[in-house]
Structure 1
Amino acid sequence: MSRISRRTVLKGAAAAGAAGLITGPAIGQAQYPSRPVTLICPWGAGGGTDATARIVAQLLEKDLGQPFNVVNRTGGSGVVGHQAIAAAPADGYTIGMLTVEIAMMRHQGLTELKSGDYAALGLMNEDPPGVQVSASSPYKDIKELAAAIKAAPHGKLKASGTGQGGIWHLALVGWLVAMGLKPDHVAWVPSNGAAPGMQDLAAGGIDIVTCSVPEARAMIDAGKAKALAIMASARNPQFKDVPTLNESLGINYSVGAWRGIGAPKAVPADIQAKLTASLKKAFDSKEYQDFMNSRGFGMKFADGPGFAKFMADSDTSMASAMKAAGLAKA
């Protein structure tokens, strides 16, 4: 009997060990994240995308108990960072900030990447662009700037704010076309985001920056730049003194940039769900609301499926706009 009992005990222990091997990965997955997570930002430090990425990372870290480290992967008009997100291991330990450029880049022939190449986790922000000039600029309002643009020779004035064919470039093109000018009447100087563009504006290297007013706020508050108008259907309550193009020029033109969090497409569904829930918690938090309001950033949330649809719709609308502006390659 003792031998039989011993065999039974050994078999039971072996079975329990095997069960442990089977359930081990599931237990590990349930404990996600068990180590630091990288959050890739496709745009440079100091811009609105970087700022949004960092507050989101801070709140995810607070909720999930592991560091979320923001890494800026710039270049290629956003292609480098977006490619790095899509190509990362699908284990949930590399996620990233997806921006409106993912709805634009493939139409420019810059990449084959599209919004469907990602696991959509959550939309966090949407902003319209403003028109900024340096504080020393002779233009007191948007009417004076518009008149100067129309009077200037083709390509004499220079503008910046993002890469070639990026959302802020498209914003400028749309405005120029709405004024009856050619899409390249104002020369575009590519930059790795709004912050470098604003620095170039303050230094006198360019004449105009089209980017969101929140992104320009640091230079505006420092007395080095001023916002003349916003390309939206209504004024931003945080910048109530900045008029819309429609108010000042009778041009009913608006466009917007957006930012959300995504991951490699094959990230397990349970990890996606955990991250989406944490993003919603972050979005609803007082810290996030106060941070975004203090900078004038627009706030808009959508869960994974909602964000996926939002990106697909953005892709369709951006394709139409870029073709009309002559910026689409296909």
Structure 2
Amino acid sequence: MHARSRRSFFSRLAHLASAALGGLVLLSAAAPALAQGYPTRPITLIVPWGAGGGTDATARIIASLLEKDLGQPVTVVNRTGGSGVVGHAAIASAAPDGYTIGLATVEIGMMHWQGLTELTGASYTPIGLVNADPAGIQVRADAPYKSLAELLAAIKANPGKHKASGTGQGGIWHLAIAGLLRDQKIDPAAVPWVPSNGAAPGLQDMVAGGVDIAPVSLPEARSLIDAGKVKSLAIMADKPAGLYPNVPTLKAAIGSDWTMAAWRGIVAPKGIPNDARDKLAAAVKKVAASKEYTEFMASRGFGVTYAGPEDFGKFMAKSDAELGATMKAVGIAK
């Protein structure tokens, strides 16, 4: 091979090697983009309750905000039936890959005590608590009780005289007042429960004089409180509500540590990959702190309460134990 040919050959070889090396550099730079990790496809968010309700509305604002953060569509699917059992079961039994999540509600700590399912909060991977609306003790504005202590004294003095309403038999608000009475060493039967199809009819019945107490959330009683027809004696929470900061907690009112709230939180099936759990948890935390979410919840009168995966898991376990003890006390646990 002539000297010129050799130089040409080695020059071409060097050029090819350089091109190959450049290609490897480009591939390595593209690798993170090609392997972005979770999520790489759309996510389904299951809601155990019907379209148009408060839980559905909460799920839809969360889904829209998760989409922005995760870069994938998040589709809300309503799976109703069985008093919440169908939807909660659909979340628990979905493939544990992070592509099906759900908005669990307080009922997950109630249904198994009633023998409706074996599912509990421990059946899921907790992602984040996003809402809690504590029960309050509402009475008519013209009721003679100036404080919760006065109302409890009247109940003790006249068992069976003071009726309460705000949900169905064994619903969250029924359990709230039954648990409070039990905590105060008063027989829960001392306040007969009048079932209703929710807080609104229960409150209207109270204003009309049919019942005396509506142990529903402050947001649900808001319009009647603002209209001067209802007053709130206390809230079953650890701290005062932003909506009415002057309403005392049970601790402040009567020294009780009893709390009870309707709540909602994002969960996933057991055993999802750690990277998916962590990515979802970080995204849900951002949602709960976002202006869009807090303003939306405020417009609905819902409280924003956030807890991360570990604390949410503990919260569900505590809620379950308290609900179970109360349901046994009022005779509705199987």
TM-score normalized by the length of structure 2: 0.70
Q: Which amino acid aligns with 1:259?
A: R
Q: CA deviation at 1:262?
A: 0.8
Provide closer, same or farther for how the CA distance between residues 66 and 30 of structure 1 changes in structure 2, counting only shifts above 3 A. closer
**Structure 2 CA distance for partners of 1:254 and 1:225, relative to 1, 3 Å:** same
Number of residue pairs matched by the alignment: 296
SS in structure 2 of the partner of residue 252 of structure 1: coil
Structure 2 counterparts to residues 58-207 of structure 1, below 5 A: 58-71=64-77, 73=79, 76-90=82-96, 92-133=98-139, 138=143, 141-143=146-148, 145-146=151-152, 149-150=155-156, 154=160, 157-161=163-167, 163-190=168-195, 196-202=198-204, 204=208, 206-207=211-212
Within the candidate set 54, 62, 66, 1:56 is matched to 62
Assess if the C-alpha contact under 8 Å between 2:129 and 2:307 holds in 1: yes
Partner Cα distance (1:28, 1:94) in 2: 19
Match of 1:273 in 2: 278
Contact 1:201–1:209 (Cα < 8 Å) also in 2: yes
Residue equivalent to 2:216: 211
Q: How far is 1:41 from its partner?
A: 4.3
Contact preservation (8 Å) 2:131, 2:302: no
Contact 1:44 1:72 in 2 (8 A): yes
- Larger CA Rg, structure 1 vs 2: 2
Pick aligned residue for 1:255 from 247, 254, 259: 259
CA shift digits 1:264-311 (9 cap, x unpaired): 3354544333322211221232333444566461422213x4433443
Alpha carbons 1:32, 1:271 under 8 Å: kept: no
Q: 1:113 Cα shift?
A: 0.8
Task: State TM-score, norm by structure 1.
Answer: 0.70
Cα 1:213–1:310 change in 2 (3 A) is same
**d(CA) in 2 for partners of 1:33 and 1:208?**
49
What is the aligned partner in structure 1 of residue 292 from structure 2?
A: 287
Q: Structure 2: how far apart are the matches of 1:209 and 1:44?
A: 26
Equivalent residue in structure 2 for 1:38, among 13, 37, 45: 45
C-alpha RMSD over aligned residues: 3.8
Shift >6 Å, 4+ stretches: 26-29
Q: Compute the displacement of 1:240 (Å).
A: 1.6
Structure 1 stretches lacking a partner, 5+ long: 1-25
Alignment partners' CA distance in 1, 2:62 and 2:313: 19
The separation in 2 between residues aligned to 1:270 and 1:129, in whole angstroms, is 36
1:91-141: per-residue Cα shift (whole Å, max 9, x none)? 545422223332333233232112222222222234431112456x64564
Task: Please state if 1:307 is matched with 2:312.
Answer: yes
